[in-house]
Structure 1
Amino acid sequence: MSDKKGLKLMNPLRSIFVAGSILGLSACAWLPFSENTGIGRIPLEDIEPTVRFIEKKEEPIPQSDIDEVSTEQVVESYERLMQSPHPEVQRQAMRRLADLNMRLAGYKAYALDSGQELESLSPAIRNASYAKAAELYQQTIDQFPRQEDDSAIRYQLSRALSLDGKQEQSLEQLDSLVAVHTASPEVVEVEFRRGEAYFLRKDYRRAADAYKAVLDQGTGSQYYDKALYKHGWSLFKLRDYDLAILDFFPLLERLLSEQQLNSEVKAVLTDLIDDTYRAISLSFYHQAGAETVEEYFKTVGPKPYEYMVYERLAQLYLEQERFQDAADTYLAFVSGNEFHEQAPYFQLKVVQTYIDGGFPSLVLPAKEEFLKKYGVKSRFWRQATEIARKDLRPHVRLNLDEIASHYHANAQESKKPADYLTAAEWYSHFLLLLNDEKDVAPFHFLMAEALFDAKDYQRAIVEFEQIAYTYKQYEKREQAAYNILVAYQTLIDNEKQDEAKKALKSKSIEYTLKYADVFPNSKRAPELVLRAAEELIVFERIPEAIAAAEKLLALPGQKTQKQADRAKIIIANGLLDLKQYAKAESAITRVLNETQLTQKQRDEFREQRAQSIYKQAEALKEEGKLEFAMTEFQRLSALEPNSSVRVNADYDAATIMLQLEKWDDARTALESFRKQFGKHELAKGLSEKLALVYEKQELWGLAAGEYKSIGATTKDPEKAREISWYVAELYKKADQTTEAIAAYKKYVWTYPEPYVQATEGRAKLVELYKQAGDSEKRDFWHAKIISEYKKAKDKNNARTSYLAANSSFELAEPLFESFQNIKLKLPLAKSLRKKKSAMDKAIKAYGDIGKFKVAEFTTASTHRVAQLYHVLAKDILNSERPKGMNEEEEEEYGYLIEDQAFPLEEKAIEIYQSNSNRVLQNVYDEWVKLSFAALADLQPARYNKQEVIKPWYGVSL
């Protein structure tokens, strides 16, 4: 057993052999092919065959009885055998060692390409090489010449040299082989390989000779088709294009026949066939192109694949963007094979080539040529089978549609009769191409129209008559029949001779009657009867037109609803024109109730009815019949609410209601008017009218809303200010607190001047917020009154001072309450500091009120300051005592507390006295009285002669 790196003899060696064989043979006789990506645009000498021949030949490996033997052992065995005294043993060992080196070298190359490291391979594989194999083969030939397998060994020697990169030496071996071993079994393959090698060296003459040697061996060789293919290419490379074709065409025929028989290799054959076509195309391309093709087939006669040769040559030209040459190639085939089944499609390819090549001027003629040669009026079409016609019909129809449309459009642009006649001729093809009425009728109609536009009216009448009275389902039958009338009318208009014109009119009338018989339900049938009424209107003979329309309505059966409607419309419009408004209203109502109208027509007639009613109402108003006029105006609004005069009618009715002092009705009418016509010009004075009505009905809030609108639109600033104040007062009067607040706020922010009235507005806001229970916003406006007072300075008066003092007092009162609510608890020092702090804030607030010099609030604030001292003294005396004191300690603590409270009480008495002394200044209000009451409680001997007064704010004095 060998080491783990050794290669096992059985399957591993077989893998090495197969890989080596593939690597060797896939190189196509020792030289790699270069890939070709297309012929390019020139030079054509660089063009190569695209099919490459690769054989994979696997030689059998003799089986061994030994299960596992390392490669090193095999090599050593062969090397020992090479020292054998028996020559045949030496020769066999030498050759087998050469073969083994070939396989191991192949495996080494495969392993290294797969990413393995050289060191990871066994020594035998690492040391193997194609050079060593070649050396052993050469040694075998030299030491043992002229053996039976000499040709095979030389062949292997050639392979080893090729794989070792010694291509010239390899080729020399092949040359030597065919020179010496002419009858060798390998000679056909060797000749083919020589051809491949010389072809790759671009030695096309020698390559051709080698391929010729293969061909000379007969068609039975597996290399015959390949050699024929490459022999042709060699001649092509030698620019012997005419000779190359002599190879390519026989090859093509062999391949085509083989393709029918052998489905297993169909894909490979397809590729080879495809490239053979390409080679043929290139050969013709390098000669005279389509001209050479024509000459060739004239010589050999028609072939089933002939059209494909033209096709591939044309495709080659297209690849080179030689569009005209491609088109000429297609045309060459068509020219020589006009009735071939592929000829129409080649003509279509000419069209597509011109399109792709950007030759718009050639496209249309090519399409015309297609239709002339293969359309419905061509010889090809007449003799073609129904299947061929069926296949061609879509192409004919498509191109015919385009050609006919083109010439029709051209005619419509030029307006030349001759051009219209050309279009009509092309449309006539559709009559032969199509059988179904629904398909052919539209084109027949277009043909008739073209004749009409060509001013060939008589021929147009013939075609229109056929369309109208032959086709049964065509949707434009009636139109065709009507076009006959138009054609006659045109002839009548162009006719100068009276007699001839009379005869044409007679024909027109005759056809009109026929029209009415065939199309009794058509809207045009009664139109002939109606025409008289229409013409009377044109001539402004209104009464007669009305009479004619009434007569039409009396006709039985034939008239359509639309024609009856038209008659009723004539009557209604006529009466309106005659200013017979009452009758017109009745006739218009009939039109609206009985006729089929578009929405636009219906709107117009409703408008006309509204105008009729409005005119009747105006007449009543002018006669002084206000109640009747008002009723008519209201009837108009109810009957025609969307009419343009409805707004005038509503306004006129409301105005009459005001005149008649119908306040409830006026309110309803004016509110409705605003809702529907608020943006109308008449609505501009609506607020004044509604304000009047609301005040008459004591609807203060609604009145405020109207004045608000008036104020928003007035351009007089002073008037706007007055209205703004009045709006607020009305909302307050209506008890609409929210709206009143908003109105007063808008006033004071918008109109800070005059200052006094703005202050009154702020006072109103204080009052309203107080009612609403919103203390935060109430206090905001208290503060605003005070701040504005300070800014106003000389503008202030007694009223603003009073309001400012009141606001200051109201803002101070919460401070007094906060002070009162603080209880003196243990630890006394802490709660006493808190209470004194609250007291200081309150004293400061009350002290500022005196600046306003309003007696009522001066006495009130003075009394409150005295109360602050008085309450603090009492709270100290009644404060919580510490726990755990004995009787003596409690007595001592009481003395201390009294010492604290006594000065405060004295201060309170002093302030009460200063307030009570205001009686000397003739001030004796509620607060002075309260101060006297407090003094009577504190100093009863001196002040208890007065009436007892209850303490204020629940404070026991």
Structure 2
Amino acid sequence: MFRSFPLYIFISLLVLQSISYAARTLEEEDFVLAKKAFEDEFYDISQEQLERFLRNYPQSNYKDEAHLLLGRCYYHGRKYAQALYEFDSVLTSPTANRLYDEAIYWSAEVYFKDKDFKQAINQYQTIVEKFPNSKYLTFATYSKGWCYYEMGDYDSAVKLFDGFINKYPSDNLAPEAKFKIGQSLYKSKKYGEAKTAFENFLKQYPLSKKSPDAYFLLGEANYALGYYAVAIENYSKGLEIDPKALWAPYSQYGRGWANFKISKYKEALDAFLGFRQNYPNDPLIDSVIFGIGQCHSFLRDYANAILRYDEIILKFQNSKYIDDAYLWKGDCLYNLGKYEEAQGIYQDAISKFSDSDLSDQFRYNLGWVQLRLRKYEEAISHFQEAIKVSSDRDLKASALSIIGDTFLDLKDYQSAREAYDQILANYQDFVNCDYAQYRLGITLFRMANYDGAILAFQSLIGNFPNSKLKEEALEQLGLSYFRKGHYQLALETFNKFISNYPQSSLIPEASFQVGNCLFNLGKYEDAISAFNKVIKNYPNSEYARLGVYEIGWCYYQSGKETSAISEFNNYISKYPTSEITDDVKLWLGQYHYNKKQYSKAKVYFESMLKSSPDSDVADDAEYWLAFIIHKSGDINGAIKQFNRVIEVYPDSQLAIDSTIKIGDILAESGKSDDAIGALKVIIEKYPKTQFEKVANKRIGDILNEKRLYNAAIERYRLAITESQSDFNAETQFLIAGCYEELGSIDQALAEYLKVKYLYPQIKFWSVRSELRAAYLLEGKERWEEAKKIYEDMAKVNLEEAKYAKERLEWITNNVLKKTKEAR
């Protein structure tokens, strides 16, 4: 209220104040008035009085001080050019030398305010160098450091502030200089040194008015250093001291992100929500809304997270967080299982933010979404695009890893191998390089490249000593040795695994594989002991069940058939619904059939069909039952049972065998016409099928046996298909044989050679055809042609090559040589 008094009251006060003094001149009174007004910070009044004084008393003894005070009034009124003019008036006055330091200092202050820091530094330096006793010396020294701070030369600022403290440790500006050191270090991103500086400041000056600022900046430094919990304490302390500071919003903001960084998502959410409520129009509000969304995301409150990301997408389209909002909205949708919507978000983001730093992440995440949608080719394509556009080596390697896993799941083993190889060759710093090595081993194993798998698993064990996959790799190494047939090495590896990882969940399997290795090494008694150990130690595991099964085979292979049969029956009793119980029953049925114990065999076949009518081996059981019926002498019953196999299992190889067997049964019983009739029924019933072809061939066989060669040839020709098969090669060979029996030697020759030319890969029949052709040529004394066939046959690595060489030698010595001599 005092500063708003009218001028006449102010003048009256000054007059009263001067009563005690000796009588003053009017000039002195005017100057005192102006000076006192300045001292009381009535700068406008002081300015008016000083301007009037200098007009009225241009030669006054007070004129130099008046110019100085007037300059300072202009300074406070931000009239910097006029202020400098007044200070220059002082500096050019020969009578003002006692005021030079003050005029220089205030000139420096003007330059500082006008952000001409270089000029300010020059003026401050003049004080330091030429006026060592000036009352402005400490201010000039301090302000020089401040100039460097404002210029961004923080190292020089720190040096000057540090020098100030060392020279004037008790000065009132020492705490300010100490604070400025911390500020300068923070600005130069020397966060560790800044942290130390602020901690020392707070320790030395705990009650300083700068202490809340120091706590805030200490929090910022600790945040930058990753000391988030300490940063939270610093922010909170600063707010406690000065809750209305200019930096209060940023301290609240920092608390939010610091809590987020240490996974205190609920506390972070509270801080962000508080910020939003208190500072709704702050420039950081988009970042805060994104932070709220992030907290909801990590708290798995995906619905609320999506609301916040949508708010950024709709209301802050120029925000630097807009692309992040798309990315995380897609992530929320993915986690909610809304894969189609997530796919749309990522596709939209790829289109809108082609230059975004998140472009690779959009494609990477889209790949994951499309894997969930089972769009495997599209997923692989987007992972490949992510690799192409990304500069993040970890993301590239991770994408390659997923590509490899996807190809592996799709059984495209070569492509999977290439992906894992690329990681191992180009991304050896990848955190999951051991995983790529392990998956490469699995891929090679599935490719039946056991040598490669062995090397891959050995490499993981040797090159990644701290890998969590060493356990699985050692077990897989044992399996690879086993598949390769290196049973002793496999045995040693599984025993090593059991010794190294006694608590592993894979111990039951490894123990079982020990028994398997011993079995394949022919050590059946040891194998039985190993399997019994599995049964005893891990009675509820699948390997206990398999152990019972394998013990049966151990007994069988060691010649203890009674014990084997007993063990297999034990298996059926204990595990009536296992995936191999039907196979065990089938084997037992076949065993008893081969022992001519048909009634026992029938029990097993019928038991299997009753308990598992849809079994994968049901066609086998039906087929073998037909044989048992045939053995009982019931021809019609056997034919009926074989027909059942054909009807119920038309895609089974046994359906073809049954077709042949029907013909065989009838033919063997002397009912060749009935056999042909039965086979013709099959031809009519299954036209244009494999059964038609097999039946025609079998009719041909019956006609051939009856020496009805022309009719046989006709049926054989109906049986032949276009495929390169043993069936077709044999049929063609039989056609040639029929012509040979008919005495049509030239036609027979042509038909035999057809076998060679049409079915070169079917060696069994093509070689026999060549032998018959050469034999026929010899019979017609076409020696050169016969010789050529034998010469071709002699070059191949077959048993028949020896005979061909013998015939070549005979022809050369007994025919061609004599012919030459006769000439």
Q: TM-score, normalised by structure 1?
A: 0.23
Q: Which has the higher contact order (CA 8 A, sep 6+)?
A: 1
Q: TM-score, normalised by structure 2?
A: 0.27
Q: Who wins on radius of gyration, i.e. which is larger?
A: 1
